[in-house]
Amino acid sequence: MEQQIYKGKLTQFHWLKIAKKEELTKNTFSLEFEIPENLKENFKFEAGQFVSVKFQSNGQEVINDYSMTSAPYEKKITLGMKINSSSGTTSQLSRNYNVGDQLLVSEPSGRFTLISKPSEFRTIVGFAAGIGITPILSHFKDILHNEPRTRMFLFFGNKSSEDIAYRQDLENLAKKYSDRLQIFYFYSQEKTANNFFYGRLDEKKLSLIINQILHLDDTDEESTIWDAVDEVLICGKGEMIKNLANACYHHGIPKKNIHFELFEEFNDDIYPIEKEFPLIENVEVEFKMLGKEYQTELPTNKEKILQQLLVQKFPVPYSCKSGICGSCECILEEGEVELLENEYLTEKEEEKGHILACMSIAKSKKIKLNFDLS
Ligand code: FES
């Protein structure tokens, strides 16, 4: 995950030394950090989480988020990173920081996590594209290690075979857990002997996967492997997530079992919004952020609140704009809103009045928000 995020929530950073740096492909690399004894508790994490790394790039301080590729039981923090362009911030991180250097690293966070069920027989399917493999790798290692009966299927899309990051780690896993893990590689820019593996992971490909790979189930003659799927994990770009999440949903997986992590800002809804609302004009909005009070008026309630505040150039916190990352979480202190989609907040948080501004439509003439959660 690489993106600079303005965070309304206070994030705790610590200096960590780079213990290992490794080139994975021509534009991906990994960093492993040394965790001093006194910080071990602070850096405990769950599979699927990320840390933010603060560093200097072209004389400016930047904060990028990167997902852990290590699994919690490995007791180390290893991150996977992609260099998108030679002038990008991750490229600077790769060029300017080496083993022995210190970086400011935040305590782990993120909710692309699953509840561990070591005594169950589960079927878990993962879809990853490019560097989207990072949190999926952490999940796969962790689940295979902790859940002796769970079987897993990974569908991993890349431009070509040369672009596959973590291939060796994946092959090692497939060997170690050959009875419970199957991995399939897809290439969008490299012809494959079998046409099945050529092209992007999308709705069409999912139908083929369901019919040709996840079909007959040896453990249950009455059903298919796809029918037995308990959880789906998806990580990659917004379009891919939207496409696959909707396709999985249309193929019968409940939304609560489809988990995704977005690696870029995405200005679209993951699931289509079908509801309509009575029009309200001149919506009064008051909000608090980093101790400062703001007041404004939204022309109508047709667009979501965060998107309208951004148009008015307020420095409100956001990242995905799709209800996934939680950066825009705030408390509704007055008024009424409709939270259209929520892939982040827990039921308890919703009960306490927490909302995601990027997925909320105003339903009252006046609303009051507080982005200062801590
Ligand atoms: S910006 Fe990511 S949940 Fe709102």
Ligand 1, atom 3, lies closest to the CA of: 323
CATH code, domain with 356:
3.10.20.30
Index of the ligand 1 atom closest to the CA of residue 326: 3
Count CB atoms within 10 A of the CB of residue 293: 10
Picking from 106, 136, 164, the residue at the C-terminal end of a domain is: 106
* Residue 18 token pair: 């780079």
Q: Could you say which residues of the chain have pLDDT below 50?
A: 1-6
Index of the ligand 1 atom closest to the CA of residue 319: 1
Distance 274 CA to ligand 1 centre (A): 20
- In three-state secondary structure terms, 146 is helix
Domain extent, residue 50, equals: 13-106
Q: In angstroms, rounded to a whole number, what is the distance separating the alpha carbons of residues 291 and 293? A: 7
Residue ranges around ligand 1 (CB below 6 Å): 318-321, 323-328, 344, 356, 358
* Residue 231 token pair: 């959880």
Q: 239 and 164: one domain? A: yes
The number of angstroms, rounded, from the C-alpha of 20 to the middle of its chain's C-alpha atoms is 24
Which of 304, 322, 340 should be mutated for ligand 1, with most atoms under 8 A from CB?
322
Q: In angstroms, rounded to a whole number, what is the distance separating the alpha carbons of residues 242 and 157? A: 15
Q: 199 and 323: one domain? A: no
> At which residue do the structure tokens 């490299």 appear?
190
pLDDT at residue 5, as a whole number: 44
Number of domains, the chain: 3
Contact 93, 57 (CB under 8 A): yes
Please report whether residue 310 resides in a domain: yes
> At which residue do the structure tokens 């600079």 appear?
4
Angle between helices 167-176 and 133-146 (to 10 degrees): 20
pLDDT at residue 232, as a whole number: 98
pLDDT at residue 276, as a whole number: 84
Index of the ligand 1 atom closest to the CA of residue 358: 4
Q: Which residues pair with 279 in a beta bridge?
A: none
pLDDT at residue 238, as a whole number: 92
Q: 254 and 137: one domain? A: yes
Index of the ligand 1 atom closest to the CA of residue 317: 1
Q: In angstroms, rounded to a whole number, what is the distance separating the alpha carbons of residues 238 and 336? A: 29
Q: 176 and 256: one domain? A: yes
Please report whether residue 4 resides in a domain: no
CATH code, domain with 193:
3.40.50.80
Q: In angstroms, rounded to a whole number, what is the distance separating the alpha carbons of residues 198 and 210? A: 16
Q: 90 and 153: one domain? A: no
